[in-house]
């Protein structure tokens, strides 16, 4: 059961700042384990829109039978994306995350047929490759989190013609990561691994927490089809 949240925006801001101070993978995992009970309430305070933007992008472009589609939710956290996609008619979810406490929250949602504990970049993606109609990573692709190279594994996990949906922030602190991500995306296009379906920049991604930023930071949703 998630804890009741009475924290203010300043409280949540302090949590996010402490996350950026967690440097090693084990420290990062420990941070998310400790945050799991408050996570959904806290990101609501931040007006974090990436999950809904990603779910909307997939729903707008997926052409198959939604009730039959196999969805791989990488860096699934507590299951926010699956909860949104269920409202659009999707029913079959496999989740992967490095935080055991986050996976426990996702399990309690009752939406996932399988949940896997793995730290991508250090461990291989623990699923059948070439199997999924939709592969998503929402929130995991940013500075200090997943390495850019993991998007190749996401592509490998999708079946031919499957959709891969990815998100990242566009704020100044993440621009170098975003540039590296887009370089890898372009390289994979040139290699004939996938083709672009939609790229959407969103100005109001989430409320800014950096002391040098005000209002909202921006972000980007990428949608690709495996060739």
For the stretch 52-83, pLDDT in tens is 999 999 999 999 999 999 999 999 999 999 99
Spell out the domains of the chain, with CATH numbers in brackets: 47-226 (3.40.50.150)
Question: Would the pLDDT of 203 be above 50?
Answer: yes
Are 63 and 210 in contact by the 8 Å Cβ rule? The answer is: no
- Token pair of 51 as six digits: 């999950």
This prediction's pTM: 0.93
Contact partners, residue 142, CB within 8 Å, separation at least 6: 168, 169, 174, 177
Distance in angstroms between the alpha carbons of the first and the last residue of the chain = 42
Using the predicted structure, report yes or no on whether residue 90 has a pLDDT greater than 70: yes
If pLDDT is split at 50, 70 and 90, which confidence band does 3 have? very low
Percent residues over pLDDT 70 in the chain: 96
């Amino acid at each position: 059961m998630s804890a009741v949240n009475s924290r203010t925006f300043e409280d949540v801001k302090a949590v996010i700042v402490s996350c950026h101070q967690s440097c090693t993978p084990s420290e990062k995992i420990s941070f998310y384990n400790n945050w799991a009970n408050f996570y959904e309430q806290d990101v609501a305070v931040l007006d974090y829109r990436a999950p809904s933007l990603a779910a909307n992008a997939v729903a707008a472009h997926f052409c198959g039978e939604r009730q039959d589609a196999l969805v791989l939710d990488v860096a699934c956290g507590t299951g926010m994306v699956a909860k949104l996609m269920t409202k659009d008619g999707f029913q079959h979810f496999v989740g992967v995350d490095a935080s055991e406490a986050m996976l426990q929250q996702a399990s309690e949602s009752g939406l996932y047929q399988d949940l896997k504990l793995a730290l991508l970049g250090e461990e291989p993606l623990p699923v059948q490759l070439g199997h999924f109609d939709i592969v998503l990573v929402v929130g995991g692709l940013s500075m200090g989190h997943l390495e850019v190279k993991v998007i190749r594994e996401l592509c490998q996990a999708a079946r031919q013609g499957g959709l891969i949906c990815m998100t990242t922030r566009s704020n100044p602190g993440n621009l170098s990561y975003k540039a590296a991500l887009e370089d890898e995306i372009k390289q994979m296009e040139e290699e004939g691994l996938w083709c672009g379906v939609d790229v959407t920049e969103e100005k109001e991604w989430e409320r800014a927490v950096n002391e040098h930023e005000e209002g909202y930071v921006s972000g980007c949703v990428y949608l690709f089809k495996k060739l």
